[in-house]
Amino acid sequence: MRSAAVVACLGLVLLAACDKPQPAAEVRPVRTVTTSAGSDGEPVSLTGHIHARTEESLAFRIDGRMITGHVGVGQVVRPNDLIAELDPLPQRDALHEAQARLAAADATLHEASNNMERQRTLTSKGWSTQVQYDAAERTFNTANAQLDVAKAQLHEAEDHMGYSELRADAPGVVISKNVESGEVVRAGQTIVTIAQFGGTDAVFDVPATLMRQISPDVLVTVALTDDPNIRTTGRVRETAPQADPTTQSFRVKVGLDEPPEAMRLGATVFGQTRMLGSKGIELPATALTMMDNQPAVWVVDPKSMQVSLRTVELQQEASSSIVVSKGLEPGELVVTAGVHALRPGQKVRLLGEQS
């Protein structure tokens, strides 16, 4: 009887335990972000200056004393306009000397020719020897060569006479003048610098870090720093292949499309463009975890509200963000906070979705 009573009591206890409510499965609150395709890069702005597309430094081809300068800074010049003159007296004397040498060489050749003809006649009649004729022929050949030298010297002297005048090659405006009248100049020394018409550039010194993040054919908006309403656009026309040894920046020239008249040479401008956008999916760095030594993120199933761990490939990883190149699709929910407290299949509750 007693054992039957104990069994009955145990049955009642088990029934009571079955009737007691079971604790609900844990639902962990998480923060998420909805993935989206790569966006445009961040804007970037740099300060530069307006330059002519072609700047020509004009110099004399010969040494001399500059007696006259015909242009000043800011003056507009046309092709063949006279820029400066050297003292022509040394070149004129050299020209007269070359003319005299040519006349002497011509006379020497005429005499040598007559002498060779006489020796040919005398030799043919037996009145002279072959040795004498050969000597006359050598004298004629030497005189002929000396005449060619004299002609070349005269041609050079005539060219130098023309080199005493410095003329413009193309239309433009004088932007600098380096020599004044009365100074002695060397061949190749810059006399004036001319900014030729036919194109304007905005020139910027770009840091090496930005060079890797800007597309070579990017569209650049250029505006005056003192009046941003005066603006135009352009594209990169030329990039220096080597960084400046002092600043470690690259000189970039942006060819301007129809620059406004107020955007004068030397004006300070700022250029605005965008860096290269990310081709992957950007996420906060807090979303990253590891699975089997591989980068991974927790993805939420919007229907079951359960999470699953998915391995991904990273294109870029920084202290504040990561860029996923493979493993995610746009529109998926990724956990960005509390990733280390989750387990596969766990139910979650969204605290506040970010987009």
Pairing of strands 27-34, 347-350: parallel
Q: Is the pLDDT of residue 354 over 80?
A: no
- Residue 205, classed as helix, strand or coil, is strand
pLDDT at 355: 44
For helices 89-124 and 130-163, the axis angle rounded to 10 degrees is: 160
Does the pTM surpass 0.85? The reply is no
Segment among 23-32, 83-92, 305-314 with least mean pLDDT:
23-32
pLDDT at 104: 94
Q: What is the mean pLDDT of residues 316-331?
A: 84
pLDDT at 115: 92
Residue with tokens 């490939």: 313
If DSSP states are collapsed to H, E and C, what string results for 103-149?
Answer: HHHHHHHHHHHHHHHHHHHHHHCCCCCHHHHHHHHHHHHHHHHHHHH
pLDDT at 43: 81
pLDDT at 12: 45
Query: How does pLDDT run across 114-164, given as a tens digit for each residue?
Result: 999 998 898 888 888 889 889 989 999 999 999 999 999 999 999 888 899
pLDDT at 25: 58
Query: How does pLDDT run across 34-86, given as a tens digit for each residue?
Result: 888 765 667 888 999 999 999 999 999 999 999 999 999 999 999 999 999 99
Please tell me the total number of residues recorded for the chain in this structure: 355
Q: Which residues make Cβ contacts (< 8 Å) with residue 283, sequence separation at least 6?
A: 33, 35, 297, 321, 322, 323, 324, 334, 336
Query: How does pLDDT run across 161-219, given as a tens digit for each residue?
Result: 889 999 999 999 999 999 999 999 999 999 999 999 988 999 999 988 787 777 777 88
pLDDT at 10: 45
- pLDDT-based confidence at residue 257 (cuts at 50, 70, 90): confident
pLDDT at 352: 59
Could you write out the DSSP letters of every residue in 281-335?
EEEEGGG-EEETTEEEEEEE-TTT-BEEEEE-EEEEE-SSEEEEEES--TT-EEE
Q: Is the pLDDT of residue 24 over 60?
A: no
Segment among 24-38, 77-91, 239-253, 260-274 with least mean pLDDT:
24-38
pLDDT at 278: 60
Q: Is the pLDDT of residue 1 over 50?
A: no
Q: What is the mean pLDDT of residues 21-43?
A: 73
| Strongest mean pLDDT among 12-21, 210-219, 271-280, 325-334 | 325-334
pLDDT at 11: 47
- Dist. CA 46–CA 277, nearest whole Å: 18
pLDDT at 41: 63
Q: Is the pLDDT of residue 89 over 60?
A: yes
pLDDT at 72: 92
pLDDT at 275: 72
Tell me which residue of 289, 321, 323, 293 sits closest to 308, measured CA to CA. 289
What are the percentages of helix, strand and coil residues in the chain, rounded to 5? Answer: 30, 40, 35
- pLDDT-based confidence at residue 9 (cuts at 50, 70, 90): very low
Q: Is the pLDDT of residue 7 over 60?
A: no
Element of type H or E holding 2: helix 2-19
- pLDDT-based confidence at residue 230 (cuts at 50, 70, 90): very high
pLDDT at 16: 45
